Structure 1
Amino acid sequence: MFPILKFIPQFKSVLWGGKRIASYKDLSSRGDNIGESWELSCVPGHESVVAEGSFKGKNLHEIMLTDAKEILGERLLKRYGTEFPLLIKLIDSADDLSIQVHPDDNLAAKRHHCPGKTEMWVSIAPADGAYLYSGFNRVISAEEYRSRIADNTIVDTLGKHYPQKGDVFFLPAGRVHSIGKGNFVLEIQQSSDITYRIYDYDRRDAQGNARQLHVEESIDAIDFSDTDGAAPSRIKWIENQEEIIADCNYFTTSAIAVKESACMDLDKRDSFTIIASIDGDAQLVDANNEYISLPQGAVALIPASMPRIQILGNCKIITSYIK
Structure 2
Amino acid sequence: MSLYPIKFTPLYKYRIWGGEKLKTVLHKDYQEDHIGESWEISDVKGDETVVSEGVLKGKTLRALIEAYKEDVVGKTVYNVFGAEFPLLIKFIDAKTPLSIQVHPSNEIAKERHNSFGKNEMWYVMEAEKDAELIVGFNQQVDKTSYVKALVSGQILDVLNNDTVSKGDTYYIPTGRIHAIGAGVMLAEIQQTSDITYRIYDYDRVDATTGKTRELHTELAVDVIDYSVSDSYKTKYTKPDHATNTLVHSPYFKTNIVNVKGEMQKDYTALDSFVIYICVEGEFELIWNDVPYKLVKGETIFLPALIDAVTLQSTNADVLEVYY
TM-score (norm 1): 0.96
In the other structure, the counterpart of 1:143 is 144
- Is 2:293 aligned against 1:311? no
Matches within 5 A, 1:257-272: 257-272=258-273
- Is 2:214 aligned against 1:212? yes
Distance 1:210 1:47 in 2: 28
Decide which structure has greater strand share: 2
In the other structure, the counterpart of 1:158 is 159
In the other structure, the counterpart of 1:126 is 127
Q: Cα deviations across residues 19-59 of structure 1 (Å, max 9, x unaligned)?
A: 00112223455333111100111111111111101110111
Q: Cα deviations across residues 266-295 of structure 1 (Å, max 9, x unaligned)?
A: 111110111011111211112x22221212
Look up the equivalent residue of 1:55 and give its one-letter code: L
| Cα offset, 1:208, TM superposition | 2.9
Q: Cα deviations across residues 96-124 of structure 1 (Å, max 9, x unaligned)?
A: 10000000100001111111000000011
In the other structure, the counterpart of 1:294 is 294
Structure 1 gap ranges (5+): none
Q: Cα deviations across residues 235-292 of structure 1 (Å, max 9, x unaligned)?
A: 5222232101101101110011101211111111110111011111211112x22221
Q: Conserved in 1, the CA contact under 8 Å of 2:64 and 2:72? A: no
Matches within 5 A, 1:70-109: 70-109=71-110
In the other structure, the counterpart of 2:16 is 15
Q: Conserved in 1, the CA contact under 8 Å of 2:256 and 2:318? A: yes
Residues 230, 110 of structure 1: alpha-carbon distance in 2 compared, 3 angstrom cutoff: farther
Q: Cα deviations across residues 276-316 of structure 1 (Å, max 9, x unaligned)?
A: 11111211112x22221212211011111111111111211
Q: Conserved in 2, the CA contact under 8 Å of 1:23 and 1:29? A: no
Distance 1:204 1:251 in 2: 35
Deviant stretches of 4+, over 6 Å: none
In the other structure, the counterpart of 2:225 is 223
Give the stretch that moved more between structures: 269-278 or 65-74.
65-74
3-state SS of paired residue (1:106): helix
Residues 234, 141 of structure 1: alpha-carbon distance in 2 compared, 3 angstrom cutoff: closer
Residues 135, 298 of structure 1: alpha-carbon distance in 2 compared, 3 angstrom cutoff: same
Look up the equivalent residue of 1:86 and give its one-letter code: L
Residues 237, 59 of structure 1: alpha-carbon distance in 2 compared, 3 angstrom cutoff: same
Q: Conserved in 1, the CA contact under 8 Å of 2:123 and 2:170? A: yes
Structure 2 gap ranges (5+): none
In the other structure, the counterpart of 2:234 is 233
Q: Percent identity?
A: 37
Look up the equivalent residue of 1:46 and give its one-letter code: D
3-state SS of paired residue (1:221): coil
In the other structure, the counterpart of 2:62 is 61
Distance 2:25 2:279 in 1: 9
TM-score (norm 2): 0.96
Distance 2:226 2:202 in 1: 21
In the other structure, the counterpart of 1:170 is 171
